[in-house]
Amino acid sequence: MGENSLYGPLDPAPDAGYLDAPPRMGFFTDTSVCIGCKACEVACKEWNAIPDDGFDLLGHSYDNTGGLSANSWRHVAFIEQPAVDALATAEAGDDFRWLMASNVCKHCTHAGCLDVCPTGSLFRTEFGTVVVQEDICNGCGYCIPACPYGVIDQRKDDGRAWKCTMCYDRIGDGLTPACAKACPTQSIQYGELDELRERAGHRVAALHEQGVAKARLYGHDPADGVGGDGAFFLLLDEPEVYGLPPDPIVPTRDLPEMWKRAGWAGLAMVAAVAVSFLGGKS
């Protein structure tokens, strides 16, 4: 593939084979270069044979998808807002700008969906991604409220859960996920997660030098409430503007401590009953 002025080669090296313990792979979505073409949505649907969403017209902006769902594993949001800096005004040629962003499953380091799945339908792959095995899913829906991002959804016709797999079938063969392959601006980048985080840091620094003061990374920090995301973003405004939670926390984070306390409480009750019983006999 040819070089891109921002990021270099579009694809990872074709001969970069995966050993027994491949590095963790992920997505870096740079919203500052997203043009809202929706090529990622189309490529995702075509490769994964995802049903259509009904082709509904929502009646606001140019977004006809609305959000992530069982039948939309990539969603490009269109957000119109007043320009907030000189660069944005110059680019827009007016006093407003479009914020466009392709949203996707975050493939969390600490994934609540994995914690609550009773059948093993959800599993962590050798690439660090989280995948649903639809032939094992029993449609219980426990994973849906366990996701802090509201990503997972059930199909109405069969009740099973569906979400982005980061094209597990493609990356296992050393290929790029369909959405990243189709993106014409490299807004969606796929590669080794550590390398993507380093690249994203340089990109944010460059935008700050250009006067884009609100540019920031989202989901890249391993110390956040989900242990860092396998799919993180460069945003040009607050996360809430894009419909993202400002401080996501995996709902199952406190389960070990809760079970520990419940265990101690149970032991205390057993001890109290034993003392009462022995005391009554004397």
Residue 96 has a pLDDT of 77
Binding site feature residues for [4Fe-4S] cluster: 34, 37, 40, 44, 105, 108, 113, 117, 137, 140, 143, 147, 164, 167, 179, 183
pLDDT tens, residue by residue, 68-96? 999 999 999 999 887 666 555 555 556 77
Query: What value does the mean pLDDT take over residues 185-214?
Result: 97
Residue where the block lists tokens 């313990």? 21
DSSP SS3 for 201: helix
Dist. CA 177–CA 168, nearest whole Å: 8
Q: Of 47-61, 121-135, 245-259, which gets the smallest average pLDDT?
A: 245-259
Residue 95 has a pLDDT of 74
Residue 147 has a pLDDT of 95
Residue 271 has a pLDDT of 72
Residue 61 has a pLDDT of 67
**Where is pLDDT greater, at 29 or 260?**
29
Instruction: List the structure tokens of 192.
Output: 């080794």
Residue 64 has a pLDDT of 79
Q: Do 51 and 71 contact (CB within 8 A), yes or no?
A: yes
What band does 237 get if pLDDT is binned at 50, 70 and 90? very high
**Where is pLDDT greater, at 207 or 83?**
207
Cβ-based neighbours of 73, under 8 Å, separated by 6 or more: 44, 45, 48, 50, 104, 105, 162, 163, 164, 165
Closest by CA position to 153, among listed 72, 74, 49:
72
User: Taking 50 as the threshold, does the pLDDT of residue 102 lie above it?
Assistant: yes
| Amino acid symbol at 5 | S
Q: Do 107 and 232 contact (CB within 8 A), yes or no?
A: no
Neighbours of 29 (CB within 10 A): 27
pLDDT tens, residue by residue, 9-49? 433 433 344 446 689 999 999 999 999 999 999 999 999 99
Binding site feature residues: 34, 37, 40, 44, 105, 108, 113, 117, 137, 140, 143, 147, 164, 167, 179, 183
DSSP SS3 for 130: strand
Dist. CA 242–CA 26, nearest whole Å: 20
Greatest pairwise CA separation for the chain in angstroms: 91
**What sign does the dihedral 255-258-260-263 (CA atoms) show?**
negative
Residue 12 has a pLDDT of 40
pLDDT tens, residue by residue, 134-149? 999 999 999 999 999 9
What band does 179 get if pLDDT is binned at 50, 70 and 90? very high
